[in-house]
Amino acid sequence: MRKEGNHNMKQKLEQIKAEAMEALGGVSASDALEQLRVKYLGKKGEITAILKQMGGLSAEERPVIGQLANQIRAEIEQAIAQQSKRLEAAALAARLELETVDVTIPGQTRKIGMKHPMYQVLDQIKDIFIGMGFEVVEDREVELAEYNFDKLNETEGHPAREWSDTFYFTEDSKILLRTQTSPMQIHVMERQKPPIRMVAPGRVYRKDEVDATHSPMFHQIEGMVIDKGITMADLKGTLSQVARQLYGEQTVTRFRPHHFPFTEPSCEMDIQCYKCHGAGCSTCKGEGWIELLGAGMVHPKVLEGCGIDSSVYSGWAFGFGLERLALAYFKISDLRLIFENDVRFLEQF
Ligand code: DAH
């Protein structure tokens, strides 16, 4: 019976080993591996159970079985350690695979905005005037009728003062949204002694219905030079040079007589059509010329009203609509596109 016990226990140990090795070979997760460790080597494990039975063995048999049990436990421990290493390596490899960065995948591009085409033109115009020693000034859009009209020699009864054309804030027609940038002439002359060289871009407002060429809000640039001995020749020379810098060296300008209350004499400046060079085409509507701006010699009444002695000083001024200029510059057919800010439109410039 003792011999049989010995034999049985040996067999049992060998069987445990075979089973354990097989189970370990097929293990694929670390928690399953831990379960196997507990099953075979744990306190209530199978090897421990065998060792607990050793009390029934003879003194000779005990060391033999004990040695065998320890050896098998060591082998199983080793196998577990090996599998544990293998599983760790596999897990690492899987994580690396998962976290691989494919540098060939196109990145998410950020949309970068750009300057509105009209402000691109404005920047160019400012640069040209700054290069000629002009100062850029900006000021209020809510204006007194006194500055928008009276001090510019647009007296009571002038058609531009009509309620139907102007956004007034008050019943007495004294406060309004400026209808032109020309009041900037007055502000600058009132706070600055000549010599003056300034340009003043900004928004202006008129009661116009929106269509392809009109908007109740649009932009103008005003400009003015006041000094001793300034003549119409300075006006023509300077504005022609600006046109050449804006539209190209070969640009031809012409000046036609006109009327503005705040200048005397007054004129309008055209440029010869940059597309057909005067022959007449769709860009210039068959005229051969494109109207660019209004200008003139600052009226002595306007100078005197600002405390500038018109017998000592003279000057010239101009004003034009920025949208219209940008439309022509970029060959855009509809004013509304300038204000709608559709990105598909803006991206083209
Ligand atoms: N203020 C005028 C307008 O809105 C434009 C203008 C014409 C401005 C002649 C000037 C000028 O300074 O001299 O139509």
What are the tens digits of pLDDT across the range 276-286? 889 999 878 89
Q: DSSP character for 141?
A: S
Q: Is the CB of 154 under 6 A from ligand 1?
A: no
Amino acid residing at 255 = F
pLDDT of residue 4: 53
Q: Is the CB of 329 under 6 A from ligand 1?
A: no
Please tell me the distance between residue 259's alpha carbon and the centre of ligand 1 in angstroms: 10
pLDDT digits (tens, 9 = 90+) for 66-98: 888 889 999 999 999 999 999 999 999 999 999
Mutate to test the pocket of ligand 1, among 153, 180, 224 (most ligand atoms within 8 A of CB): 180
pLDDT of residue 1: 42
Q: Is the CB of 296 under 6 A from ligand 1?
A: yes
Q: DSSP character for 213?
A: S
pLDDT digits (tens, 9 = 90+) for 127-171: 999 999 999 999 999 999 999 999 999 988 888 888 889 999 999
CA angle 142, 146, 148 (to 5 degrees): 55
Alpha carbons within 13 angstroms on the beta-carbon side of residue 193 total 1
Please tell me the distance between residue 260's alpha carbon and the centre of ligand 1 in angstroms: 7
Q: Is the CB of 319 under 6 A from ligand 1?
A: yes
Give one word for 31, left, alpha or beta, with left for phi > 0 and alpha for psi -120 to 50.
alpha
Alpha carbons within 13 angstroms on the beta-carbon side of residue 312 total 7
**Residue of minimum CA distance from atom 6 in ligand 1:** 319
Contact in structure between 213 and 335 (CB atoms under 8 Å): yes
DSSP code string of 163-196: TTTS-BSSTTS-EEE-SSSTHHHHHHHHH-PSSE
- Mean pLDDT across the stretch 329-346? 88
Q: Is the CB of 322 under 6 A from ligand 1?
A: no
Q: Is the CB of 318 under 6 A from ligand 1?
A: yes
Please tell me the distance between residue 129's alpha carbon and the centre of ligand 1 in angstroms: 17
**Residue of minimum CA distance from atom 7 in ligand 1:** 294
What is the rounded CA–CA span in Å between residue 178 and residue 152? 12
Q: What pTM was estimated for this model as a whole? A: 0.70
Residue 320 has pLDDT above 80, yes or no: yes
pLDDT of residue 315: 98
pLDDT of residue 111: 83
Q: Can you say how many angstroms the Cα of residue 155 is from the centroid of all Cα atoms in its chain?
A: 45
Residue 3 has pLDDT above 70, yes or no: no
Q: Residue with structure tokens 């810098």?
A: 245
Peptide bond into 265 cis (omega under 30): yes
* C-alpha pair distances (Å), 91 with each of 29, 77, 326: 9, 21, 64
Please tell me the distance between residue 346's alpha carbon and the centre of ligand 1 in angstroms: 29
- Mean pLDDT across the stretch 306-331? 93
Q: Is the CB of 260 under 6 A from ligand 1?
A: yes
CA distance from start to end of the chain: 103
Residue count of the chain, please give it: 349
Alpha carbons within 13 angstroms on the beta-carbon side of residue 249 total 0
Contact in structure between 220 and 320 (CB atoms under 8 Å): yes
**Residue of minimum CA distance from atom 8 in ligand 1:** 319
Please tell me the distance between residue 274's alpha carbon and the centre of ligand 1 in angstroms: 24
What percent of the chain stands above pLDDT 70?
99
Q: Is the CB of 263 under 6 A from ligand 1?
A: yes
* Alpha helices (H) in the chain, listed in sequence order: 2-25, 30-41, 46-52, 61-98, 117-131, 145-148, 183-191, 232-247, 300-305, 322-330, 336-340, 343-346
pLDDT of residue 101: 87
Residue 302 has pLDDT above 50, yes or no: yes
Contact in structure between 243 and 292 (CB atoms under 8 Å): yes
Contact in structure between 252 and 273 (CB atoms under 8 Å): no
Structure tokens at 286: 């068959």
Q: Which of 38-52, 150-164, 216-230, 317-331 has the highest mean pLDDT?
A: 216-230
Please tell me the distance between residue 25's alpha carbon and the centre of ligand 1 in angstroms: 94
Q: Residue with structure tokens 């010239």?
A: 316
Residue 198: strand, helix, or coil: strand
What is the rounded CA–CA span in Å between residue 323 and residue 332? 10
What is the rounded CA–CA span in Å between residue 340 and residue 338? 6
Please tell me the distance between residue 263's alpha carbon and the centre of ligand 1 in angstroms: 9
Q: Is the CB of 117 under 6 A from ligand 1?
A: no
